[in-house]
Chains A and B, each alone.
Chain A
Amino acid sequence: MRVLVVEDEAGTRGLLERALREELFHVEGVADAAAAESCAVPGRFDAIILDVMLPDRDGFSVCRRLRTRGVDTPILLLTGRNGLADRVRGLDVGADDYLAKPFAFEELLARLRAVTRRGRSRHLQSLLSYGPIELDQQSRRVTVDSQPMILSNTEFRLLHYLMLHAETPVSRDELALHVWDAGAGGRSNVIDVYISYLRRLLGPAGSLIRTVRGSGYALSAGRRPV
């Protein structure tokens, strides 16, 4: 699941990013309303966690503007203000849920699951499968032809990202960002090495990971990735 975290306080943003990545979410974090509005395009994220107190514009306005632009991504407002008027206002401007700080991370996860369930995103399904490969996002188990595989955390994240985007070419930059939490600089060799580990581990199913010349990789059964 791809989540946009909009939070100006660097400590809180970093915490949310780390926590969500540990739960296998693919996270992008931004610190202000302008950045949030420019990257929250329809279909890019499965959920948005939006702080109400942003430095350039409040989260209620951001929420209203996104809805006006046709962005229907589920939005979870996160705030230090928990008054009735704030909660009502948040829901009235188009947010799907409202969570006050300080919050338990378990509750945040549960609310994220609840708001995205309404969108029936495929990322929500606990079990992802492609050909003989099955990956359980909750238990973090991988099987190939029902045989359990032992993968390192990085191998698991890499396979997970490829399965989330099956049949779609994924660039090395994307993989560097979402699997290694880093920019692309100097990473492409590491990515290639991990792809080769993964192909080897998956046995014959490893051939489903195809190289897209000049771009990256794709999980695809066809001769050419779509």
Chain B
Amino acid sequence: MSRSRDTTEADLQGFAAAVAHEIRTPLSAVAGELELALRRDRSPEEYREVLRRIAAGVDELVQISGDLALFGDPASRSIPEAAVAPLDGVLVRIRERYSKRDDVEIAVDPSTAVRVAAEEDRLLRALVLIIEHALRHRKGAGVVSLRAVPLADHRVRLLVEALPSGFWPQAWKALADSPDGVAGPLRLRTAQRLLEGAGGRLHVAHDLGTVEVRVDLDPIS
């Protein structure tokens, strides 16, 4: 009992520290831009540029608060009764979302023409969170690719890759090293929780500096 309470407390402390760290980065950018802008007079163009950068930082903070709300929502991790999502439909929506970017490739092929027991919007949100994390933590300016690989037991595996150079390991390592798969950055933890509500699971393997990211889903026969 006491050990269990200690573990919960340690998890909570780790989670709070990780979230505080994630909030501090955009917050310090916003505070720094304001402080710098006020140090001396600037041209209207310079002030506009400062405001644009502050708006980007605020967007990031809004995104974090949205992730936190999703993470804290008890409904996130339960599968609604009779919820069924067409995987290829979800992937098409993600592809449309990134249609203006040439650094994201979403493959929709016969292997994704399956239905999974999931609430469609949650599955989509989980995959988008993983792609956003992948875009931020890839080496170089390569392409983030999401493609399906059919497994022998009828399950579907979605592979998330950064081509050609792969991912920086540090941003994925905590999740890979976590025995229960629930540590790591807020974005990945939220994705993991949403996937639980979609009958799936995010796996990150980290070996000799390379990172493999995959999502396993159970289709409905």
Please tell me if B170 contacts chain A, counting CB pairs below 8 Å.
yes
Given A12-B25, A101-B25, are A18 and B36 neighbors across the interface (CB < 8 Å)?
Answer: yes
Give residues 94-108 of B contacting A (CB, 8 Å).
none
Enumerate chain A residues within 8 angstroms of B33, measured Cβ to Cβ: 15
Which of A19, A57, A100, A101 is within 8 Å of B36, CB to CB?
A19
Please tell me if A136 contacts chain B, counting CB pairs below 8 Å.
no
> Which positions in A face B, CB cutoff 8 Å?
9, 11-12, 15-16, 18-19, 22, 32, 53-58, 80-81, 83, 100-106
- Scoring B21, B22, B40 by chain A CB atoms within 10 A of each residue's CB, the highest score goes to B21
What distance in Å separates the Cβ of A35 from its nearest Cβ neighbour in chain B? 12
Binary CB contact string for chain B from 115 to 127 against chain A (1 if under 8 A, 0 otherwise): 0000000000000
Contact of B36 with A83 in the complex, beta carbons under 8 Å: no
Given A101-B24, A104-B35, A105-B35, are A15 and B29 neighbors across the interface (CB < 8 Å)?
Answer: yes
Please tell me if B149 contacts chain A, counting CB pairs below 8 Å.
no
Q: Is the interface of A mostly helix, strand, loop or mixed?
A: loop
Please tell me if B10 contacts chain A, counting CB pairs below 8 Å.
no
Closest to B138 in A: A55
Whole-angstrom CA separation of A102 from B53 in the bound complex: 16
Enumerate chain B residues within 8 angstroms of A58, measured Cβ to Cβ: 170
Contact of B32 with A105 in the complex, beta carbons under 8 Å: yes
Given A19-B36, A104-B35, are A55 and B171 neighbors across the interface (CB < 8 Å)?
Answer: yes
Closest to B35 in A: A105
Which of A11, A55, A80, A102 is within 8 Å of B170, CB to CB?
A55
Whole-angstrom CA separation of A16 from B32 in the bound complex: 8
> Which positions in B face A, CB cutoff 8 Å?
17, 20-22, 24-29, 31-33, 35-36, 39-40, 53, 56-57, 137, 139, 168-171
Whole-angstrom CA separation of A199 from B126 in the bound complex: 62
Contact of B27 with A102 in the complex, beta carbons under 8 Å: yes
Q: Is the interface of B mostly helix, strand, loop or mixed?
A: helix
A-B Cβ contacts below 8 A, count: 66
Contact of B35 with A9 in the complex, beta carbons under 8 Å: no
Enumerate chain A residues within 8 angstroms of B57, measured Cβ to Cβ: 11
Contact of B170 with A56 in the complex, beta carbons under 8 Å: yes
Closest to B20 in A: A80
Contact of A55 with B168 in the complex, beta carbons under 8 Å: yes
Given A11-B57, A55-B168, A56-B169, are A80 and B36 neighbors across the interface (CB < 8 Å)?
Answer: no
What distance in Å separates the Cβ of B183 from its nearest Cβ neighbour in chain A? 15
Beyond contacts A55-B170, A57-B170: 18 other A-B pairs, Cβ-Cβ < 8 A, are: A15-B33, A19-B36, A22-B36, A22-B39, A53-B170, A56-B169, A80-B21, A81-B21, A83-B17, A100-B24, A101-B24, A102-B24, A102-B28, A102-B31, A103-B28, A103-B32, A104-B35, A105-B39
Q: What are 23 A-B interface contacts by the 8 Å CB criterion?
A: A9-B25, A9-B29, A12-B25, A15-B29, A15-B32, A15-B33, A16-B32, A18-B36, A53-B21, A53-B170, A54-B170, A55-B169, A55-B170, A56-B169, A80-B20, A80-B28, A81-B17, A101-B24, A101-B25, A101-B27, A101-B28, A102-B24, A105-B35
What distance in Å separates the Cβ of A104 from its nearest Cβ neighbour in chain B? 6
Closest to B39 in A: A22
Whole-angstrom CA separation of A102 from B35 in the bound complex: 12
What distance in Å separates the Cβ of B47 from its nearest Cβ neighbour in chain A? 14
What distance in Å separates the Cβ of B165 from its nearest Cβ neighbour in chain A? 12
Closest to A101 in B: B28
Whole-angstrom CA separation of A58 from B21 in the bound complex: 15
Enumerate chain A residues within 8 angstroms of B20, measured Cβ to Cβ: 80
Whole-angstrom CA separation of A22 from B41 in the bound complex: 12
Whole-angstrom CA separation of A104 from B33 in the bound complex: 10
What distance in Å separates the Cβ of B61 from its nearest Cβ neighbour in chain A? 12
Enumerate chain A residues within 8 angstroms of B31, measured Cβ to Cβ: 102, 104
Whole-angstrom CA separation of A83 from B36 in the bound complex: 27
